[in-house]
Each structure stands twice: as structure tokens, then as C-alpha cells.
Amino acid sequence: MRTARDGVRWHHVEAVAGCYNWSSLLPMLRAAEAACVQVMWDLCHYGWPDHLDVFSAAFIEHFARYAAAFARLHVEETGRPPLVCPINEISYFAWAGGQVGRMNPGTRGRGPELKRQLVRATVAAIHAMKLTAAGTRVFAIDPLIHVVPGRGQDSRRAAAYTRAQFEAWDMLAGHRNPELGGGPDMLDVVGANYYWNNQWVHRGRGLTLDDARRTPLRALLASLQARYGRPLFLAETSIEGEGRAAWLRGVAEEVYAAIHGGVRVEGICLYPVLSHPGWSNGRVCSNGLLEMAPRHGRRPVHTPIAAELRRQRAAFEALHQIGSPAASSK
């Protein structure tokens, strides 16, 4: 494994306002350097210090300073500017935390307001990092979805829900709400998170994998390319259970088809590496490369997905080496 996504835990780093304690990060940063693993760092993955109100101007100011401090630390430790996702899944964050109260900040009906605030903070952080460490690469990551109307529903409602996935990206690119400060230089790379249930019936259940109403992943990726003209990558993907290897294989086949169609897809990120407890219940989410329960002091490897990862890594490298549209545009 040569590239990974990981998180800088802001609530630990700046537990005291204006004071940065990097002790929770440095072991991971240094271990990655020792192992020659390239890391894309999330600066805010749904959490922030207790002394900040996410809706306040202070949140933006503190986030920008923290981002600059991280960029400076990364250069000091590695000699290179960082790869950064400032705020993970702005759209989902705004819906789950601001609109329906499913997670922090636990508000209802404030989703659009939170989305704009998170975009402002992202823009401020990007400016701060690029001033501190020229060459910092920024990744804008959100879910890639498709919603279809249910029986008897107005198709326009499902279409509007599907279009809403683009709002945060549009704001960052300066296509929407320009007063937030977005622009073309705010959107280096677009990351799309895609799971089995990212296509569903409006106000209903997820579409099964054999449902004819599903849109092929290659087409969804092509729509992102057409809209933003930026390089893409699948920033998260997986499925639970014994179908993990088959899911990864199917996703990879769709990505290869997109690349051959001229879409610049730079890679696929399996998420997570470790299986984990469920967000809202006690179930074991068996979707990782390594299982959650250790055996004899080690986490067991899920052999089928490990084998599939090896195959797909070799196939992806070969695809780029022979001069695919994505490789030739690098």
C-alpha cells in the first residue's frame, strides 16, 4: 500500500485555543514517511475543538490558522507540501449535522447555512495553506449519488435531490454563491465517495445492484468530469460482507471504462482499511481489508479482498503505463 487517506484530529491538536499540540499526529506522519506511504490528510472529518461554534466567524479564522500550521509542519517534517482534504464531505456534513440533527452540531433546518459556512472555512484554509506551502494539493470530497422517483412521484423532486450533490463543489468552484470566495483554483481534484447505497428511490430504499434504474458509475464519473473539468478519484468505496471483493472488482471495471472514455480518474480508495462498529448501532461493519476482532494479537486479513486489491493495483498501474487518456493528461 503506497497511498492512504487519514485524518488530523483537530479537536486534539487545538484543544486549547491557538495552541497546537501535534503529538496525536506526528507518530502517524513519521511512520508514513518511514514506510514511503503518501497520505492525503483530512483536516476536519466531522469534528472540531469544543471551544468553537461551527457557525461563528471564529470557526473560519481558527480553521485557516490551523490549516496553515499543519502545512508548515508537513513541510518541516517531509520537505514537501501536503495533500489535503480541508473538510470531508461538506454536503453530507451539512445534511447530517445541520439539517436533520443526526450528528454534530445537532441542528435541524440549518443545512444550507452550515454548507455555506463550511465552504467559507475551506476557502480560507486553502488560501492559508497555499501561502504557507506553495504547491499544496487540495481535494474536494463529497458523495456521488443518483436518486430516482418512486411510483407515482414527481420525477422533478428526485432530479432536484440528485442535482443538490453538486452544490458544495459548485460553491468551491465559484459557479454558485461567489460571495463565499470560491474559484477555479479552489478545486484542484474532485473526490467522489461511492457505496452500494449511493443510488436510491426518493424518500425510499436503496436500489439493489441489479435494478435497471441504476446509472452506471462510469456515467456518474463522466458527469463530474464534464461539470468541472478536473481530475477525479474515487475517494471512498466498499460494501459490507462477503461481497467485498466482487464490489471492488465491479467498481474497478466501471472506472476503467470511464478512463477509456476519456475521464481522468486518478485512483480508487478502499474505505475503510479496518472493519469497524456501526455508526448508529452495535453491528460489526465487515467492509475492510482487515477484520475488526483480533486473533492471536493480529487483525485477520479478508483474503478475497486482499487478492482483489493486488490484482486491481497491478491492472491500474498497467493501464496508466500504456498511455491511457488519464496518463497522457498528467
Asked, for residue 163, whether it belongs to a domain, the answer is yes
**Predicted local confidence at residue 322, as pLDDT:** 61
The fraction of the chain above a pLDDT of 90, given in percent, is 89
Query: Measured between alpha carbons, how far is 26 from 111 in angstroms, rounded to an integer?
Result: 34
Is residue 32 included in any domain, yes or no? yes
Please report which confidence band the pLDDT of residue 312 belongs to, taking 50, 70 and 90 as the band edges: very high
Query: Is 254 part of any domain?
Result: no
For β-strands 137-143 and 189-193, DSSP reports them as parallel
Q: What is the mean pLDDT of the chain?
A: 94
Asked if residue 75 belongs to a domain, the reply is yes
Instruction: Give the per-residue pLDDT at 294.
Output: 86
How far apart are alpha carbons 46 and 176 in whole angstroms?
A: 23
* 122-163 pLDDT tens trace: 999 999 999 999 999 999 999 999 999 999 999 999 999 999
- What are the pLDDT digits (tens) for 53-86? 999 999 999 999 999 999 999 999 999 999 999 9
- Residue 276 falls within a domain, yes or no? no
What residues contact 262, with CB distance under 8 A and at least 6 apart? 225, 325
Statement: residue 170 has pLDDT above 50: yes
What would the mean pLDDT of 156-175 be, rounded to a whole number? 96
Q: Is 269 within a domain? A: no
* Backbone φ and ψ of 49, nearest 5°: -65, 150
Locate 25 and state its grid cell: 499526529
The residue among 250, 247, 294, 252 whose CA lies nearest residue 275 is 294
**Range(s) of the domain holding residue 133:** 3-237
* pLDDT category of residue 278 using cuts at 50, 70 and 90: confident
pLDDT of residue 85: 98
Give the number of domains in the chain.
1
Model confidence, pTM: 0.93
Find out whether the peptide bond into 272 is cis, omega within 30 degrees of 0: yes
Query: Angle formed by the axes of helices 26-34 and 57-78, to 10°?
Result: 40
Average pLDDT over residues 103-119: 97
Grid cell in block for residue 213:
434504474
For residue 136, is it within any domain? yes
CA 269 – CA 226 distance, rounded (Å): 22
CATH number at residue 48: 3.20.20.80
Q: How far is CA 214 from the centre of its chain?
A: 22
The per-residue pLDDT for range 22-49, each reduced to its tens digit, is 999 999 999 999 999 999 999 999 999 9
Nearest Cα neighbor of 235 from 42, 10, 67 is: 42
Rounded alpha-carbon distances, angstroms, from residue 183 to 95, 177, 188, 235: 23, 10, 10, 22
Residue 111 lies in a domain: yes
